Amino acid sequence: MEKFFKLKERGTDVKTEIMAGITTFMTMAYILAVNPGILTTGTGMVFGKVFAATAIASAIACLVMSLLANLPFALSAGMGLNAFFTYTVCLGMGYSWQFALTAIFVEGIIFLLLTICNVREAIVNSIPTGLKKAIGAGIGLFIAFIGLQNAGLVVGGATLVDLNPEWIKSPACIVTVLGLIITGILLAKKVKGALLIGIIAATVIGIPFGVTAYAGGSYLPSAPYFCEFAFKEIFASGRSVFDFIIVMFTFLFVDMFDTVGTLIGCAGKSNMIQADGTIPNCKEALFADAVGTTVGAMLGTSTVTTFVESASGVSEGGRTGLTSLTVAVLFILSLFLEPLFGSIPSAATAPALILVGVMMITPVTEVDWSDFTEAIPAFMCILMMVCTYSISNGIMFGILFFVIIKAFSGKVKEISPMTWVVFGLFIVKIIVNTL
């Protein structure tokens, strides 16, 4: 173990690595309740199957990160992309969950090829930096908005959206608000596993309010889905083919920036970034999320990506793959706790969704708001993502405004070839949708 993980070389030991892994798992275990909750909302998917798929895909991705990259970063189903899966592809566009899984599967294959061919970083670098930051921030607000809706705090009204006039009388709303307060205090005090502790606390509070009820069921692991793809649905019409390309590209686009940004952030926190700006075993780390995404789609869950919560384990001293190996083991053990996770009400997970939004919005400070050719596209991306209830719409408006404003402001050279390609795809999408 010492030789394989190079513990002494990286200034760590077995105890430190295992504790770091436990810490990381505690901070991200909320995904086991939140991800199935989001993916099963109106899609027809089954909680137990998605729960199993999430746990298994996360474990496999963490194993690859551990054994191949030897890095202390953990992976699971990414927040934001699961919302895009449910609220945009399935509920918004009207496609089946099998259609969405097929898009993720194809995306995963492309990820594998791009990673093997060493072109993934080049593609990432070609996308405008400001839009990368805006996309993350927009998804954060979108997730928070979903959390407010799931809690019943925000409802439809004369002004399209309104504060629920009966929120103070609603048990679910009260549980959510109390969960927000508790989790917020824990985060402010930098308590490890604050989101998970907050979910547990809100779940317990929900019992006397009649919000929490034991789901029941077996503690034996459920079987996940297996290769439930919908290639026939994709080729049903020209519109569905084009929509599939847009959906697949959106998954690819968002996941690409999420993973690379997280890797850079966590590597910087652990002082792993080299003098030339590179990250040790970066290719292997990117390979881990590509494998996780592909396997996850086969099992029945949305895109798997590197979690920013990995920074919590790094803060506890995690420096090697033994940390991510520990997380993998804990994900496998969680398979035997499905009834407990299934008993967690949406009012208890809503605070986690809202506060994840707080964490994801921070990149917006890195947008150059003094340059309108950067600020307007970023703002439109965030605004349209939330107001149209669609991540892809936000990205579309961001790219459209970026290219048009840059082009007419004499800054054509700042538009990369790949950005022009994306711009062209969205123009075609608009034309097709108007036919």
Predicted TM-score of the model (pTM): 0.77
pLDDT per residue of the chain (435 residues) written in tens, 0 to 9: 888 998 988 889 999 999 989 988 988 888 999 999 999 999 999 999 999 999 999 999 999 999 999 999 999 998 888 988 999 899 999 999 999 999 999 999 998 998 888 776 666 556 687 887 888 788 888 888 988 988 899 998 778 889 999 999 999 999 999 999 999 999 999 887 788 888 899 999 999 999 999 988 889 899 999 999 999 999 888 889 988 988 898 888 777 766 776 776 677 666 776 766 667 888 888 899 999 999 999 999 999 988 878 877 887 789 999 999 999 999 999 999 989 888 888 899 888 888 888 888 888 888 899 999 999 999 999 999 889 887 778 888 999 999 999 999 999 999 988 788 878 888 987 887 676
3-state secondary structure the chain: CHHHHCCHHHCCCHHHHHHHHHHHHHHHCCHHHHHHHHHCCCCCCCHHHHHHHHHHHHHHHHHHHHHHHCCCCCEEECCCHHHHHHHHHHCCCCCCHHHHHHHHHHHHHHHHHHHHCCCHHHHHHHCCHHHHHHHHHHHHHHHHHHHHHHHCCEECCCCCCEECCCHHHCHHHHHHHHHHHHHHHHHHCCCCCHHHHHHHHHHHHHHHHCCCCCCCCCCCCCCCCCCCCCHHHHCCCHHHHHHHHHHHHHHHHHHHHHHHHHHHHHHHHCCCCCCCCCCCCHHHHHHHHHHHHHHHHHHCCCCEEECCCHHHHHHCCCCCHHHHHHHHHHHHHHHHHHHHHHCCCHHHHHHHHHHHHHHHCHHHHHCCCCCHHHHHHHHHHHHHHHHCCCHHHHHHHHHHHHHHHHHHCCCHHHCCHHHHHHHHHHHHHHHHHHC
